[in-house]
Homo-oligomer: A and B are copies of this chain.
Amino acid sequence: MDERDVRLLKAIAELGTGSPERLHDETDIPVSTIHYRLSNLREEGVITNDRYDIDLEKLGLGVTVIVEVHADYEGSYEEFADRMLTVEGVTNVFFTMGETDFIVIARLSDSDMVERLIAEFEELEGVDRTDSTFVIAVIEERDALQSYELETLLEELTDD
């Protein structure tokens, strides 16, 4: 995993495409080299399928933390949530009913980054209290559509 690999994977995430040509426009890496690199990343198992899903463990972002955020903020919850999104590593932000106000999921590289993340959260304006849960093992992460039987999907989603 060197600079070019990282630039490529980042470009794929940002552009939402794996098209060698478009990636070339973004990164200035020659098209055939892009193909060569992606092919290697596939063999290493970093890229897992044609949709360019990433194995975060192999990439080096295998640490997952779930943070409950209790907040008391001015303005809308969207504005406040946007501020939380500036914290690097945060992938999901849910605005929830019940005791907690937000539930946040973050992907990090190591324990040092966990500390950094919590510190950044505590410093955010409007954050009252955070309650962090360390994830020992990510059992599964799959698409919503994968989690259903075809029959159930047909019942629930089709409007005849």
* A residues in contact (CB < 8 Å) with B: 1-3, 6-7, 9-10, 12-19, 48-54, 56, 59-61, 64, 66, 77-78, 81-82, 84-85, 88-98, 100, 102-103, 106-107, 109, 113, 133-150, 152-154, 156-160
B103 & A133 in contact (Cβ 8 Å cutoff): yes
A134 & B6 in contact (Cβ 8 Å cutoff): no
Q: Nearest Cβ in chain B — how far from A10, in angstroms?
A: 5
In the bound complex, how far is the Cα of B12 from the Cα of A102, in angstroms?
32
B13 & A56 in contact (Cβ 8 Å cutoff): no
The answer to whether A10 and B153 touch (CB under 8 A), given A17-B50, A52-B51, A97-B133, is yes
A77 & B145 in contact (Cβ 8 Å cutoff): no
Q: Nearest Cβ in chain B — how far from A16, in angstroms?
A: 3
Query: Dominant SS at the A interface?
Result: mixed
Residue in B13, B95, B137 whose beta carbon sits within 8 Å of that of A137 in the complex: B95
B95 & A158 in contact (Cβ 8 Å cutoff): no
> Which residue of chain B has its CB nearest to the CB of A51?
B51
A91 & B144 in contact (Cβ 8 Å cutoff): yes
In the bound complex, how far is the Cα of B67 from the Cα of A151, in angstroms?
25
Contacts of A10 on B, CB cut-off 8 Å?
Answer: 145, 148, 150, 153
Q: Nearest Cβ in chain B — how far from A59, in angstroms?
A: 7
B64 & A6 in contact (Cβ 8 Å cutoff): no
Q: Nearest Cβ in chain B — how far from A100, in angstroms?
A: 7
In the bound complex, how far is the Cα of B106 from the Cα of A133, in angstroms?
19
Q: Nearest Cβ in chain B — how far from A46, in angstroms?
A: 10
